[in-house]
Amino acid sequence: MITVVGYDGSPPPPPAAERLAGAALVVGGARHLAAVPVPAGARTVVMGDVAQALDAVDGADGDVVVLASGDPGFFGIVRALRSRGHEPEVLPALSSVARAFARAGLSWDDALVVSAHGRDLRRAVNACRAHPKVAVLTAPGAGPAELGRALFPQSPRSFVVCEDLGGPNERVTRCRPAEATTRSWHEPNVVLVLDDGRAVGERGWIAGARPGPSSWALPEDAFEHRNSVVTKAEVRALALARLGPRVGDLIWDIGAGSGSVAIECARFGAAAIAVERDQESCERIRANVRAHGVRVAVSRGEAPAVLEHLPDPDAVFVGGGGPEVVRACASRALRGVVVALAAMERVRPTLDALAAEGLTAHAVQLQASRLSPLPGDVHRLAAANPVFVVWGERDAVPPPARAAGPSRRPQILARLPEGDT
Ligand SMILES: C[S@@+](CC[C@H](N)C(=O)[O-])C[C@H]1O[C@@H](n2cnc3c(N)ncnc32)[C@H](O)[C@@H]1O
Per residue in 12-43, pLDDT (tens digit) is 999 999 999 999 999 999 999 999 999 999 99
Domain boundary among 66, 94, 122: 94
> Looking at residue 397, what is its pLDDT?
72
Rounded to 5 degrees, what are φ and ψ at 146? -65, -40
Q: Where residue 161 sits, what CATH number does that domain have? A: 3.30.950.10
Task: Using the predicted structure, report yes or no on whether residue 405 has a pLDDT greater than 70.
Answer: no
Ligand 1 atom with the shortest distance to the CA of 136: 25
**pLDDT classification of 402: cutoffs 50, 70, 90:** low
Name residues whose C-beta falls within 8 Å of residue 129's C-beta, 6 or more positions apart in sequence: 151, 154, 155, 250, 271, 295, 297
324 shares a domain with 271: yes
Do 81 and 38 lie in one domain? The reply is yes
Q: Give the per-residue pLDDT at 413.
A: 41
Residue 410: pLDDT over 80? no
- Share above pLDDT 70 across residues of the chain, in percent, rounded to a whole number: 94
Q: Ligand 1, from 5, 108, 190, 193: best to mutate by most atoms within 8 Å of Cβ?
A: 190
Instruction: Say which CATH number the domain at 58 has.
Output: 3.40.1010.10
Helix (H) or strand (E) holding 147: helix 144-151
142 and 281 inside one domain: no
Give yes or no: residues 62 and 154 share one domain: no
Where are the extended beta strands (E) located within 83-241?
Answer: 89-91, 112-115, 133-137, 158-163, 171-175, 189-194
- Give tens-digit pLDDT for 237-263: 999 999 999 999 999 999 999 999 999
CA of 99 to the centre of ligand 1 (A): 10
* pLDDT at residue 198, as a whole number: 86
Mean pLDDT across 264-279: 97
The chain-wide mean pLDDT, for the chain, equals 93
Q: Do residues 154 and 25 both lie within one domain?
A: no
Which residue segment(s) compose the domain that 358 sits in?
220-393
Mean pLDDT across 125-141:
96
Which pLDDT score, from 0 to 100, does residue 403 have?
53
Closest atom of ligand 1 to 100 CA is 21
pLDDT tens per residue across span 83-98:
999 999 999 999 999 9
Q: Looking at residue 420, what is its pLDDT? A: 41
Question: Amino acid letter at 4?
Answer: V
Please, what is the end-to-end C-alpha distance for the chain in angstroms?
21
Whether the predicted pLDDT of 189 surpasses 90? yes
Q: Quick check: 375 pLDDT over 70?
A: yes
User: Percentage of the chain with pLDDT > 90?
Assistant: 86
Summarize pLDDT for 109-118 with one digit per residue, the tens. Answer: 999 999 998 8
- pLDDT grade, residue 401 (50/70/90)? low
User: Does the beta carbon of 74 lie inside 6 Å of ligand 1?
Assistant: yes
Contact 103, 18 (CB under 8 A): no
Which of ligand 1's atoms lies nearest the C-alpha of 9?
A: 19
Cα distance between residue 189 and residue 116, in whole Å: 11
